[in-house]
Amino acid sequence: MNLLLQDPFSVLKEYPEKLTHTIENPLVTTCLKYSPQGQYLALGSVNGSVMIFDMDTFRPIHVLGSQCGGAHTRAVQSIKWSGEDDLHQNGRYIVTSGRDWYVRVWDILNPGKPLYGVTFDGPVWGSQWINSKCITEKKEEKSHQTLVATVFEEPWAYYIDPVNNIKLPLQQDIAQKQIQQQEQSEGDEETKEEDHGFVLTSTVHPKLDNVVITGSSKGWIEFYRINKVNNTPTPHFTLLHSDKISGSNIKDIIISQNGDRMAVNCSDRTIRQYTLSYDNNTTTFTLDLEHKYQDVINKLQWNAIVFSNKSGDYIVASTHGSSTHELYLWETNSGSLVRVLEGAEEELMDIDWNFHTMSIASNGFETGDVYIWSLVIPPKWSALAPDFEEVEENVDYQEKEDEFDEIDDTEEKLKTQSTLKNDKDLVPIDLRTREKYDVRGNDISHDQCPVPIDYERIITMNQHPPS
């Protein structure tokens, strides 16, 4: 039913409240990600397979890879759908990374084999799309399919251009680094370059093109800008900001959709929330600590974190530990805990938030099942007609004698039509132009690239699940 016909107090709730569905994945889920429009849910599995589920039926519809091989040969670490720009065509491409040392790019229209593949010297923690742009010979900006990936025990993230077969460490230019070291040595001869540890996570700024943020194993967070000009495929990188925010591992970094808030999950059992500001004149970032989220009683660690849409009014986190089966939800303006989402029967790992249907998905650590919390909207049939009355039980209806008699109202219709023609304040009704935003304010002007359905392989996999 159309959302506009539902109870607005139920439809416009800002977060889900109840566990409504459980998806059983026979391949044991390790990570998950909603498509940009929320129509599909991609699940990475412990055996390297990537299954795509339809969110209308909650059933699998496709498995990436050929019949003889899956997406990866070992567990999948991360999945990312492409964005809504012209190049990526709103969810047409998927990038996956796994413990088999590979990053692979998949085309939904031809999912039998990967479009590109890049290998590393160790397991890949995660990979993300970069909204990279280059200047062509006609002096026009053109989008380019590039990625950023973090690898096990590597001191930097990697910039990947699979089209031009480029794989570069994401670190500042040698010339810039030498200048900084010279300035430090002039100021203090005993100053030495501090070890930042291994890069564990990375993310891309949603509003500023070509800005990548990385977090290390020793609590360092760094902002890099990717510079590509004159149609050269090889970029150079500029370090915009570097700061040590913790003495422990940085497990995850997330940024709100509007780019104003950033949250960092560290292994010291604390989630730090910052306001993020950027100065165009000095090209520098400023971090101001807003809140710290902790469980002071149980001293819990957090597996994954995610912001709500738009300005990130809420943040949700999954807890680490065999005895914890809930998702914690905080309000980011006040920093207060507003709800604990219950219902799961095991520890929860990865999290993703579907803003179009206002639902949260998380996978279990032991069984690999996926738990989905969403809104429960009671039917409001009175919205279909002003005089509609809801009854709790059947009532015998007594028809009036002239209730359905036909009346010749031709003269009345002519009067109405003449009145409408003379009315100068008529508002034209456009029945052809598509709405750009839904009732929740989400952009629905882009169409999701449809995922083909592979019934034969899904049936075979359900009948003979891998051990």
Q: Are strands 220-227 and 211-216 parallel, antiparallel or unpaired?
A: antiparallel
Q: From the centroid of its chain, how far is CA 11?
A: 21
160, 180, 308 from 353: Cα distances, Å: 27, 41, 7
Could you tell me the domains of the chain?
31-119+433-467 (2.130.10.10)
Tens digits of residue pLDDT in 42-86: 999 999 999 999 999 999 999 998 776 789 999 999 999 987 554
Tens digits of residue pLDDT in 231-270: 677 888 999 999 999 999 999 999 999 999 999 999 999 9
pLDDT the model gives residue 264: 97
In whole angstroms, what is the distance from residue 193 CA to residue 124 CA? 27
Closest to 239 (Cα-Cα) out of 170, 318, 332: 170
Q: Are 7 and 377 in contact (CB under 8 A)?
A: yes
Residue with tokens 């496709």: 62
* Type of residue found at 368: G
Q: Are 125 and 109 in contact (CB under 8 A)?
A: no
Name the phi and psi angles at 456, rounded to 5: -60, -45
Tokens of 142: 């053109």
pLDDT the model gives residue 91: 85
CA terminus-to-terminus distance, the chain? 41
Query: In the sheet where 40-45 sits, what is the strand order?
Result: 29-34, 40-45, 50-54, 59-63
Tens digits of residue pLDDT in 118-128: 999 999 999 99
In whole angstroms, what is the distance from residue 283 CA to residue 445 CA? 33
Predicted structure pTM score: 0.84
Give the H/E segment covering residue 29. strand 29-34
At residue 12 the predicted structure's pLDDT band, cuts being 50, 70 and 90, is confident
In whole angstroms, what is the distance from residue 126 CA to residue 78 CA? 5
In whole angstroms, what is the distance from residue 239 CA to residue 167 CA? 18
